[in-house]
Amino acid sequence: MNLNFKTLKKELNKNNIETELRKKGFNEYDLARYYIPGFKKFNTHFKSDIRSDDKNNSMICRIQNGKLLISDFGYKIGMNIYNYLIEKYNFNGKDAFFHVLNMIREDFKLDSILPLKDSKSPNTAHPIAYNEEIKESSLPVKIEVKRRRFEGKINWTYWDEEYWESFGISTKKLEEKGIAPLEKFWITNFNKDGIRREYNVEKELCYVYPFYRNSKGSFMYKIYLPLGFKGNKDFKWISNVNKKVVQNYQCIDKTGELLIIQSSFKDTMLMEELMPGLNVVSPNGEGIWFNKDVWKDLSSRYIYKVLFANNDYPKNPNPGLEFARKHSLLYNIPFVCTPDNTTSDISDYYKKYGKEETIKFLNKIFDNINLILYE
């Protein structure tokens, strides 16, 4: 489906995509910066990612009303950004344009109405997958990502599904949180040398956790490589988040009776899978507590709070339990944990003992919580 500019305008108006983008502060330039890696600035040649040769034969210029024209010497006519995406992702047939629109809506979270308007939290922006200009970044480390896709949809492999299902977490749950497998990612460390480095994931397990925009418009991500990267098992996490990030914050109720504080996003998602309707959050890493303002917000919205601690037995001292005891006393909240000689956290417990035993254990835990809180 090749759209000329007249037909494109008609289709865009009919599908309301431009209005949706504008409401979120985006336009065609933002689409080009996100989907076309080689594009840096207007009227400058770059290597096209829809052709196999290494020549810098493509160029983007801005025409009337902010529209973009993509010139490529491999094609007889210039393309608009939507035709470019149809070509890039090999969308075919009469629905090709609509596949592009759905992909944009998903990547830029255009359908989201979260977070709750009445929330007092400083985290006010929904996690989205957008890459600002490097020179505008206010973060010491800039992270850019390219999700793995097939025909416009997130492409989960057998190995991805096997990994997450071993912890009781479905790909549906992952996509609900914005988590996706990566094809490649880029890191720019402004504290070091400011050089933008590209990492091709290939067959490695690699996932992005998207988080919030900060006050200056920069985006925060975690990249998770559970088995390490290219043989380096210590290379498991890359992050540019701060203490204001609360994992799963935007998926909990505005107010409620009980809030569970987990130690990781993985544990949070598992508890949601096994006990739908439970309100669960976690700080942005193990051994990290919430920002002062964030904790004040969470405390004001829930009557009871319970900390689900890591049990690092047989380590002595036990860092997970020491952390839990400290914050339990400091904030007057009870904590629970997995038994000694089992696993350190609930997701590993699921992997070792399975779904049925994990549900039995959690039911027992919640019986104890009820005794502590309500009697």
Q: Which residue, among 360, 177, 368, has the nearest Cα to 281 in the 3D structure?
A: 177
CB-based contact 330:340 (threshold 8 Å):
no
- Do 138 and 179 fall into the same domain? yes
Mean pLDDT, range 260-275, rounded to an integer? 96
Residue 249 has pLDDT above 50, yes or no: yes
Residues 145 and 231 in one domain: yes
Write out pLDDT tens, residues 55-73.
Answer: 777 888 876 666 788 887 6
Check residue 278 and give its pLDDT.
Answer: 93
Q: What number is the average pLDDT over the span 201-210? A: 91
Q: Is 198 helix (H, G, I), strand (E, B) or coil?
A: strand
Instruction: Out of 239, 269, 292, pick the residue that ends a domain.
Output: 239
Of residues 138 and 11, more confidence is placed in 11
Asked whether residue 358 is assigned to any structural domain, the reply reads yes
Q: Which of 95, 74, 75, 86 is nearest to 31 (CA)?
A: 86
pLDDT higher for 276 or 242?
276
Distance CA 281, CA 221 (A): 17
Reported as a pLDDT band with limits 50, 70 and 90, residue 360 is very high
Same domain, 230 and 265: no
Residues 370 and 256 in one domain: yes
Query: Which pLDDT value is given to residue 141?
Result: 84
User: How high is the mean pLDDT of the chain?
Assistant: 81
Mean pLDDT of 337-347: 92
Q: Are residues 64 and 173 in the same domain?
A: no
Query: Which range (40-49, 135-144, 319-328) has the least confidence?
Result: 135-144
- Measured between alpha carbons, how far is 42 from 59 in angstroms, rounded to an integer? 7
Using the predicted structure, report yes or no on whether residue 261 has a pLDDT greater than 50.
yes
Same domain, 163 and 60: no
pLDDT computed for residue 357 by the predictor: 95
When pLDDT is cut at 50, 70 and 90, the band that residue 49 belongs to is: confident
**Residues listed for the chain:** 375
Amino acid 305: pLDDT: 93
How far is 299 from 294, CA to CA, in rounded Å?
9
Instruction: State the pLDDT at residue 72.
Output: 73
What lies within 8 Å, CB to CB, of 90 at 6+ separation is: 151
**pLDDT at site 6:** 63
371 or 36, higher pLDDT: 36
Q: Would you say the C-alpha torsion 181, 186, 190, 192 has a positive or negative sign?
A: positive
Query: In this structure, what CATH number is given to the domain that contains residue 338?
Result: 3.40.1360.10
pLDDT band for position 168 (50/70/90)? very high
The predicted structure's pLDDT at residue 350: 97
Residue 180 lies in a domain: yes
Domain count, the chain: 3
- Tens-place pLDDT, residues 108-144: 777 653 333 343 333 333 333 333 333 344 567 888 8
Domain that holds residue 338: 249-374
Quick check: is 91 in a domain?
yes
Q: Which of 105-119, 212-226, 341-355 has the lowest mean pLDDT?
A: 105-119
Same domain, 153 and 78: no
Write the CA distances from 304 to 158, 334, 346, integer angstroms.
Answer: 40, 9, 21
Instruction: Tokens 């400083």: give the residue.
Output: 122
- Residue 218 confidence class, pLDDT cut points 50, 70, 90: low
Residues 271 and 346 in one domain: yes
Question: Is residue 257 located within the same domain as residue 358?
Answer: yes
User: Residue 100: what pLDDT?
Assistant: 86
Give domain status of residue 153, yes or no: yes
Residue where a domain terminates, one of 107, 126, 150: 107
Q: How far is it between the farthest Cα atoms of the chain?
A: 77
Residue 115 belongs to some domain of the structure:
no
Residue 16 lies in a domain: yes
| Residue that wins the pLDDT comparison between 49 and 299 | 299
pLDDT at 112: 53
Same domain for 165 and 217, yes or no, is yes
Q: How far is CA 112 from CA 23, 177, 221, 235, in A?
A: 11, 12, 18, 33
Mapping DSSP to helix (H, G, I), strand (E, B) and coil, where does residue 368 land?
helix
User: Looking at the domain assignment, is residue 125 inside a domain?
Assistant: no
User: How crowded is the C-beta side of 267, counted as CA atoms within 13 Å?
Assistant: 25
Verify that 51 and 28 share a domain, yes or no.
yes
**Taking 70 as the threshold, does the pLDDT of residue 277 lie above it?**
yes
Concatenated DSSP letters of 250-308? GGS-SSEEEEEE-SSHHHHHHHHHHSTT--EEB-SSTT----HHHHHHHHHHEEEEEEE
Two tokens, residue 136: 């505008």
Same domain, residue pair 140 and 229: yes
Cα first-last separation, the chain: 66
User: Is 174 part of a structural domain of the chain?
Assistant: yes
Between residues 239 and 94, which one has the greater pLDDT?
Answer: 239
Q: How far apart are CA 304 and CA 333, in angstroms?
A: 8
Could you give the C-alpha distances from 7 to 11, 12, 96, 286, 295, in angstroms and in order?
Answer: 6, 9, 14, 52, 51
Provide DSSP, 303-336.
EEEEEE----TT-SS-HHHHHHHHHHHHHT--EE
Mean pLDDT score, 265-272: 96
How far apart are alpha carbons 265 and 308 in whole angstroms?
Answer: 12
Question: Which pLDDT belongs to residue 335?
Answer: 92
